[in-house]
Amino acid sequence: MTIKIASWNVNSIRARMPNVLNWLDTAKPDILMMQELKAQNEQFPNEEFEKRGYHLAVHGQKSWNGVAIISKEPIENVTIGLSGNDNDEQSRYIEATINDVQYCCLYLPNGNPVDSEKYPYKLEWLDRLYNRTKEMLANGTPFVLGGDFNIIPANEDCYDPTAWADDALFRLDSRRKFRSILNLGLTDAFRVEHRDIAESYTFWDYQAGAWPQNKGIRIDHFLMSPQITDRMLHCSIDKQPRGEEKASDHTPIILEIKK
């Protein structure tokens, strides 16, 4: 028996709803983590997911951000927001327990422009994610961090590293903090199965023909605790939804683990 977990930055749940439902009906994930909902909780289309047998946990925000977890199995112990900054009002993190595994759905700040307050916020958010990861590891909790990390981990995760060198997604400070989280003992699921393979992307900009020319970046990730790493079967990127009409600029990443 396997559990099929997916993560997808849908870039507005209301705008992409037909695409999301079509993909759900085809791919049939057991769990889907969604980011960039751009909708408040009361605007989230619960009924369409419930009709398909999904339980929901939603942390929305008007016009921006927003994260959600949907699951075929019951969702328990829902926590919204990443601790460590009581002044952070952005809806970027939701955590829940499903069958004794902690699922952490995140939408990490973009950080651009780097000469604004947005970049320090990104780095501070990464510090808080590091602290939360450390807590879960200390507790012995099996967990998955999934979502849009807005981090390009390495050169092979970018069609043109030189063009992105000074971008907040690829700056050395950003990547160092991402690496420090991995170095706690986590595993980048995609790179377990696809080591050093270039041109495996999860995001293509709407501008300048990025999608048809495959000018993409890999910024959507699954980071697994040691217990989940031991249960991992496969991790893949499903590019098909990016080619659909009115597509999100991201595409789903899928992790399969033993039940």
For the residues 13-27, what does the mean pLDDT come to?
A: 98
Q: pLDDT at residue 197 above 90?
A: no
| Tens digit of each residue's pLDDT (9 = 90 or more) over 124-162 | 999 999 999 999 999 999 999 999 999 999 999 999 999
Q: pLDDT at residue 87 above 80?
A: yes
In CATH terms, 2-258 corresponds, of 1.20.1090.10, 3.30.365.10, 3.60.10.10, 1.10.580.10, to 3.60.10.10
pTM comes to: 0.97
Q: Where are the domains of the chain?
A: 2-258
Split at pLDDT 50, 70, 90, the class of 198 is confident
Q: pLDDT at residue 196 above 80?
A: no
| Tens digit of each residue's pLDDT (9 = 90 or more) over 153-187 | 999 999 999 999 999 999 999 999 999 999 999 99
Give just the sign of the alpha carbon dihedral 66, 69, 75, 79.
negative
Contacts 24+ apart (CB under 8 A), 93-96: 93/59, 93/67, 94/57, 94/58, 94/59, 94/67, 94/68, 94/69, 96/57, 96/69, 96/71
